Amino acid sequence: MKSTYKLKHWISTLAIAALFVSVTLPLSSCSKSDAAIPENVAERELLVSAEKVGTLPAATLKQLASAYAGRFQSQIKYDVAIYKVSYRTTFQGRETEASALVALPMNLTGPSPVLSVQHGTIFRHEEAPSAMSGGLTGFEIFASGGYITLIPDYLGFGASKQLLHPYYHQQSSGIAVVDLIKAARSLYAREGIADNGQLFLAGYSEGGYVTLAAQKEIETNPQHGLYITAVGAGAGGYDLTKMLADVVAERPYTYPAYLAYVLMSYNKTYEWNRPLTDFFQEPYATRLATLFNGQHNGSAINQQLTTQPKQLFSPAFLEGLRGNGEQALKKALQDNSFNNWVPQSPTRLYHGTADVIVPYANSEQTYERMKAAGAPNLELIPVKNGHHGSSLIPMLTDLIPWMQSFETNP
């Protein structure tokens, strides 16, 4: 039978622009009887379940790529099978079920590299990759190029939507991706697909941050048994202490939903459980109590806030940030920044030089610090005059051939 999908893609920590035009696509779906993969308790595998939700023909993807002057058409080779998966991970010391999409290239003639690709900030539950019954993520194009492609929902979405997303929380972000990489092995092995030992990580905006979090988790914990081939991260907020400095300086911020997201998330994740009036002035404290329930997008949340930090945050909170107060928050921002880690795998940082949402200086200063600390294979790739909503396509145009340069013959 057939189901109809609209192919869309959000691209930013700020979810402010679509990557692909809305196009109605036929997606062949499978029957429920051949979809379920039972849990194997004896093996204690991380994969809980996998359901094949459809097949995306390469011809359809080629048609879509024509909207971008054929820029990606040469990469499209295979039909793609799309699976919704649930898997075990850990959050706050407890086992938690998370979810993702896995896109598998069909009719391969040899082993395939693995790519985990991380999306930008989302607010609504229905925007999670595994929940997008009205659209695909756009990242499935990598699978058509021959990559076993993993697209995590993140904690707080999909199977774990009862949680508030631990936004810009480094450890849980990294672990959730690492456990997906491990869990997916069971799926593609059962589908008769072998990996070639190569593992790539890529992401943009919050996805860039989550990508580095996963890279750090893998590189600093060899017990995972994972080895990274190369990493591409775009426009992530890698130094959260810079965000703090901007708030203290009371500079206007055009997307206040992100500032609120960090505070709401940390208050829950670190179990501070402080009243929102500790952070926000009224009427914003009362409004925020119901805005992060998975039903509102970033634009709707912004409309209920103000771009002026002096009006958004309580005077006592701002005074604490300027002085010796708010030590728990300051420590959390420091702990979740990438200020004391040096990537060892080949890594490229991409960022638009005209980005005002996540300023280019964030990547530039992170790059300079990492290089000074001895990063062996790190590059900063500026997207000249690129804004947060326009820099992903240039990033992908550079990233894809760079990833392909690591290809090995099976």
pLDDT at residue 83 above 50?
yes
Helix, coil or strand: residue 157: coil
Cβ atoms of 181 and 150 within 8 Å: the answer is yes
Which range has the worst mean pLDDT, 35-39, 271-275, 364-368? Answer: 35-39
pLDDT, residue 339, reads 92
What's the whole-number mean pLDDT along residues 340-369? Answer: 96
Helix (H) or strand (E) holding 197: strand 195-204
pLDDT, residue 64, reads 74
Local confidence band at 267 (pLDDT 50, 70, 90 cut-offs): very high
State the residue for tokens 């709401």: 264
Distance of CA 333 to the CA centre of its chain: 19
Q: What is the DSSP string of 208-255?
A: HHHHHHHHHHHHH-GGG-----EEEEES----HHHHHHHHHTT---S-
pLDDT, residue 23, reads 32
Cβ atoms of 115 and 145 within 8 Å: the answer is no
**Encoding tokens for residue 129?**
């990759």
pLDDT, residue 41, reads 36
pLDDT, residue 61, reads 85
What's the whole-number mean pLDDT along residues 161-172? Answer: 98
Q: Between the CA of residue 49 and those of 173, 231, 258, 285, what are the distances in Å? A: 21, 28, 33, 39
Amino acid at the residue 353: T
pLDDT, residue 228, reads 98
Cβ atoms of 377 and 259 within 8 Å: the answer is no
State the residue for tokens 């030992």: 197
Strand partners, 10: 18
Local confidence band at 39 (pLDDT 50, 70, 90 cut-offs): very low
Helix, coil or strand: residue 124: coil
Question: Minimal CA–CA distance to 11: which of 21, 19, 22, 1?
Answer: 19
**Encoding tokens for residue 167?**
């936004």
Please provide residue 12's backbone torsions phi and psi, each rounded to the nearest 5 degrees. -135, 160
How many residues are given for the chain? 410
pLDDT, residue 291, reads 97
Handedness of CA 290, 308, 121, 165 (dihedral sign): negative
CA distance linking residue 340 with residue 216, whole number of Å: 11
CA distance linking residue 137 with residue 5, whole number of Å: 11
Indicate where the chain has its CATH 3.40.50.1820 domain(s). Answer: 2-238+337-404
pLDDT, residue 75, reads 84
pLDDT, residue 31, reads 39
Which range has the worst mean pLDDT, 75-79, 186-190, 282-286? Answer: 75-79
pLDDT, residue 132, reads 74
Strand partners, 152: 100
What's the whole-number mean pLDDT along residues 89-116? Answer: 96
User: Packing angle between helix 240-248 and helix 256-269, nearest 10 degrees?
Assistant: 120
Cβ atoms of 211 and 233 within 8 Å: the answer is yes
Relative to beta strand 148-152, strand 112-118 is parallel
What's the whole-number mean pLDDT along residues 140-147? Answer: 92
Cβ neighbors of 342 (< 8 A, separation 6 or more) are 370, 373, 374, 375
CA distance linking residue 100 with residue 282, whole number of Å: 37
CATH class of 2-238+337-404: alpha beta
pLDDT, residue 212, reads 98
What's the whole-number mean pLDDT along residues 31-57? Answer: 66
Indicate where the chain has its CATH 1.10.260.160 domain(s). Answer: 251-335
Q: Kindly report the number of other CB atoms within 10 A of residue 317's CB atom.
A: 21
Local confidence band at 19 (pLDDT 50, 70, 90 cut-offs): very low
What's the whole-number mean pLDDT along residues 246-261? Answer: 91
Please provide residue 19's backbone torsions phi and psi, each rounded to the nearest 5 degrees. -80, -45
CA distance linking residue 263 with residue 329, whole number of Å: 8
Span between the terminal Cα atoms of the chain, in Å: 36
pLDDT, residue 243, reads 80
pLDDT, residue 15, reads 31
pLDDT, residue 43, reads 36
Average pLDDT taken over every residue of the chain: 88
**Encoding tokens for residue 226?**
């994972």
pLDDT at residue 346 above 70?
yes
CA distance linking residue 137 with residue 389, whole number of Å: 16
pLDDT at residue 370 above 60?
yes
For the domain made up of 251-335, give the CATH fold. Answer: 434 Repressor (Amino-terminal Domain) (1.10.260)
pLDDT, residue 44, reads 53
CA distance linking residue 335 with residue 189, whole number of Å: 37
Local confidence band at 405 (pLDDT 50, 70, 90 cut-offs): very high
pLDDT tens for 173-195 read 999 999 999 999 999 999 999 99
Q: What is the DSSP string of 309-320?
A: HHHHB-HHHHHH
CA distance linking residue 204 with residue 409, whole number of Å: 29
What's the whole-number mean pLDDT along residues 257-280? Answer: 97
Q: Which residue has the higher pLDDT, 154 or 65?
A: 154
